[in-house]
């Protein structure tokens, strides 16, 4: 299933695309004395997606959920791991190269851990008009525009105008949708009366739209019911059993599949993800016969995910592995349809692949293991002091669940400074809604630096999704 012993006759060049949960955990566990390692990421930091919604709702500042990749690599491996910032666009499995707008990086072993991006299904135009929550940059944009709408509404001259400016619609009732709807609900309930006294609570509306018949449909029914009660207590309207059919940003209008029309000054889209895609150049047998790069070779499966075996090796490719959200594995008996796209899967796969490669490089092929996901359960939070937790043998919700949720998230965030900052922020917010984080700092548009176009996304090649 993986490389054989005698393939490790010299130090192999390992290139990892993506410094998220999977890629970074892989690098952390890989023996840097046995491999030449290069980590490539479009950002120079690792981020913590489960708390994006707190950035979007001004609960945390972005720096407390991000950590510089160079620092983490230096801390773990000194100078033995190279970091290269850039967006990988093409993977040439014939010439063994990863291609970014700025360089070509040769590899012997490639590990693809580039996660997912937003999926708008057949409504591609939404990319231009809805707010999303797939990166720190997107969460920050959401935060700025929520604050801008509140500022704008507070100087509006009529109640009608204030209502027009403050209609928030969240699409998707999974954990991210529930969490961001709850956080905006708390702003309406507790922040509005204190900081925006000219806006009445009735003038702000928050609606969450979910296609299935319950919120958090991947969790237990108890968790769904508790989330529903919590959102309702935060004055969030919940629409179940219907999807968004279209959105007209010029008229601030969302149309649902059941025909309902909703006013929407801001639509936050949390309803779908698709794997990060690349152009692939592969050997004979694939479309293009290896001479031209293609987007959908045969190993790209459902949701654009790369199909792997239980050793995380991409089907039919030599020396290419895929980890975390971007991959879909067959062969784990408990998960015949593939694993859920969760942080624990990504972390566990990263660790397993690193240990397998370490074992092979040390000539211990008998130590190579197949991946089996150890499902530790799932959780979501609604508001500042309520959560729902589904563990293997125990389900609970409310304050105790929130304490567990806090603890798990705190130990998972990288960096002691970040852990302390987040904890202080949470304790402060628990007793007091006055935060110094509701700052509306808009990035300046000028000057343009031509040398940095590939980093800032001006040519569409880098930056966040």
Task: Scan residues 185-224 and list those touching ligand FAD (CB under 6 A).
Answer: none
Task: Report d(CA 170, CA 234) in Å as an integer.
Answer: 14
Residue 19 makes contact with ligand FAD by CB under 6 A = yes
Residues in region 230-269 near ligand FAD by CB under 6 A: none
Q: Which of 12, 28, 87, 96 binds ligand FAD (CB under 6 A)?
A: 87
Q: Name the minimum Å distance from CB 161 to ligand FAD.
A: 31
Asked whether position 28 contacts ligand FAD by CB under 6 A, the answer is: no
Q: Which stretch binds ligand FAD (CB under 6 A): 70-78, 224-232, 340-348, 448-456?
A: 340-348
Q: Which of 3, 12, 23, 223 binds ligand FAD (CB under 6 A)?
A: 23
Residue closer to ligand FAD by CB (options 165, 181) is: 181
Q: Does 325 bind ligand FAD (CB under 6 A)?
A: yes
Contact between 21 and ligand FAD per CB under 6 A: yes
52 vs 371, beta carbon nearer ligand FAD = 52
- Residue 81 as a binder of ligand FAD (CB under 6 A): the answer is no
CA distance 348 to 222: 28
| Residue indicated by tokens 């969760």 | 342
Site size for ligand FAD, by CB under 6 A?
A: 32
Which region, judged by CB under 6 A, interacts with ligand FAD, from 17-25, 238-246, 365-373, 389-397?
17-25
Residue 345, φ and ψ in degrees, nearest 5: -60, -45
Should residue 405 be labelled a site residue for ligand FAD when binding is judged by CB under 6 A?
A: no
Pick one of 14, 30, 32, 41: the residue that binds ligand FAD (CB under 6 A).
41
Strands 279-281 and 306-308: unpaired
Asked if 42 is part of the footprint of ligand FAD (rule: CB under 6 A), the reply reads yes
Answer yes or no whether residue 40 interacts with ligand FAD by CB under 6 A.
yes
Q: Does 173 bind ligand FAD (CB under 6 A)?
A: no
Which stretch in 45-53, 186-194, 296-304, 446-454 sits in contact with ligand FAD by CB under 6 A?
45-53
Establish if 52 lies at the interface with ligand FAD (CB under 6 A).
yes
Q: Which residue is nearest to ligand FAD (CB)?
A: 20
Determine which residue in the list 59, 62, 172, 175 makes contact with ligand FAD, applying CB under 6 A: 175
Nearer to ligand FAD, 154 or 274 (CB): 274
User: Judged by CB under 6 A, which of 93, 118, 176, 265 binds ligand FAD?
Assistant: 176
E strands present in 327-377 = 327-329
What is the DSSP pairing of strand 45-47 with strand 66-68? antiparallel
From 30, 66, 88, 353, residue interacting with ligand FAD (rule: CB under 6 A): 88
Does 22 sit near ligand FAD (CB under 6 A)?
yes
- Is residue 114 a contact residue for ligand FAD (CB under 6 A)? yes
The three-state (H, E, C) secondary structure of the chain, written as one string = CCCCHHHCCCCEEEEEECCCHHHHHHHHHCCCCCEEEEEEECCCEEECHHHHHHHHCCCCCHHHHEEEHHHHHHHHHCCCEEEEECCCCEEECCCCEEECCCCEEECCEEEECCCEEECCCCCHHHHHCCEECCCHHHHHHHHHHHHHHHHHHHCCCCHHHHHHHCEEEEECCCHHHHHHHHHHHHHHHHHHHHHCCCCCHHHCEEEEEECCCCCCCCCCHHHHHHHHHHHHHCCEEEEECCCEEEEECCCCEEEECCCCEEECCEEEECCCEEECCCEEECCECECCCCCCCECCCCCECHHHCEEECCCCEECCCCCEEECHHHEEECCCCCCCCCCCCCHHHHHHHHHHHHHHHHHHHCCCHHHCCCCCCCCCCEEEECCCCCEEEECCCCEEEEHHHHHHHHHHHHHHCCCHHHHHHHHHHHHHHHHCCCCCCCCCCCCCCCCCCHHHHHHHCCCCCCCCC
Residue number, 203 or 383, with CB nearest to ligand FAD: 383
Distance, in Å, from the CA atom of 295 to the CA atom of 276, rounded to the nearest integer, reads: 11
Binding letters toward ligand FAD, positions 341-380, x by CB under 6 A: xxxx-x----------------------------------
Q: Site for ligand FAD (CB under 6 A): which residue of 59, 324, 338, 415?
A: 324
Please state whether the peptide bond connecting residue 443 to the residue before it is cis, i.e. omega within 30 degrees of 0: no
The answer to whether 220 and 382 are in contact (CB under 8 A) is no
Closer Cβ to ligand FAD, 153 or 209, answer by number = 209
Q: Which stretch binds ligand FAD (CB under 6 A): 37-45, 231-239, 365-373, 440-448?
A: 37-45
Return d(Cα 238, Cα 209) in angstroms, integer: 6
Residue 276 contacts ligand FAD per CB under 6 A: yes
Is residue 93 at the binding interface for ligand FAD, with CB under 6 A as the rule?
no
* Contact status: 26 vs ligand FAD (CB under 6 A): no
Minimum gap (Å) between residue 27 Cβ and ligand FAD: 11
Q: Please report, as ranges, the residues that interact with ligand FAD according to CB under 6 A.
A: 17-23, 40-43, 49-50, 52, 87-88, 113-115, 133-134, 175-176, 276, 324-326, 341-344, 346
């Amino acid at each position: 299933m993986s490389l054989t012993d005698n393939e490790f006759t010299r130090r192999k060049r390992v290139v990892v695309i993506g410094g998220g949960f999977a890629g970074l955990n892989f690098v952390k566990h890989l023996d840097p004395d046995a491999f030449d390692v290069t980590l490539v990421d479009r950002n120079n930091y690792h981020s913590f997606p489960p708390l994006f919604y707190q950035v979007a709702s001004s609960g945390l500042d972005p720096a407390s959920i991000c950590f510089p990749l160079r620092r983490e690599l230096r801390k773990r491996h000194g100078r033995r791991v190279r970091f290269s910032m850039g967006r990988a666009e093409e993977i040439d499995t014939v010439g063994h190269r990863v291609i970014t707008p700025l360089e070509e990086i040769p590899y012997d072993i490639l590990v693809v851990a580039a996660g997912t991006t937003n999926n708008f299904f057949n409504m591609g135009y939404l990319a231009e008009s809805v707010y999303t929550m797939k990166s720190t940059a997107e969460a920050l944009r959401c935060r700025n525009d929520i604050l801008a709408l509140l500022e704008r509404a507070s100087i509006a001259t009529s109640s009608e105008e204030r209502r027009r400016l403050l209609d928030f619609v969240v699409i998707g009732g999974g954990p991210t949708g529930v969490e961001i709807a709850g956080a905006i609900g708390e702003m309406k309930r507790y922040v509005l009366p204190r900081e925006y006294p000219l806006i009445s609570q009735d003038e702000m509306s928050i609606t969450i739209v979910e296609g299935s018949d319950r919120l958090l449909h991947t969790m237990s029914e108890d968790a769904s019911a508790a989330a529903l009660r919590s959102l309702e207590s935060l004055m969030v309207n919940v629409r179940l059993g219907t999807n968004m059919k279209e959105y007209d940003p010029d008229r601030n209008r969302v149309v649902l599949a059941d025909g309902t029309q909703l006013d929407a000054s801001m639509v936050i889209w949390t309803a779908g993800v698709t794997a990060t895609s690349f152009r692939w150049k592969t050997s004979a047998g694939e479309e293009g016969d290896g001479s031209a790069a293609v987007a959908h070779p045969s190993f790209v499966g459902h949701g654009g995910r790369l199909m792997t075996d239980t050793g995380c090796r991409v089907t039919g490719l030599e020396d290419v592995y895929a980890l975390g959200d971007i991959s879909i594995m067959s062969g784990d008996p408990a998960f015949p349809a593939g694993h859920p796209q969760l942080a624990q899967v990504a972390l566990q796969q990263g660790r397993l692949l690193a240990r397998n490669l370490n074992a092979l490089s040390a000539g211990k092929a008998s130590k190579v293991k197949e991946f089996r996901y150890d499902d530790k359960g799932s959780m979501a939070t609604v508001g500042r002091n309520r959560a729902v937790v589904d563990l293997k043998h125990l389900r609970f919700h409310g304050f105790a669940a929130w304490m567990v949720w806090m603890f798990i998230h705190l130990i998972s965030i990288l960096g002691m400074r970040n852990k302390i900052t987040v904890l202080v922020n949470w304790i402060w917010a628990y007793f007091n809604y006055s935060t110094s984080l509701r700052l509306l700092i808009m990035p300046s548009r000028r000057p343009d630096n031509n040398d940095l176009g590939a980093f800032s996304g001006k040519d569409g090649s880098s930056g966040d999704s």
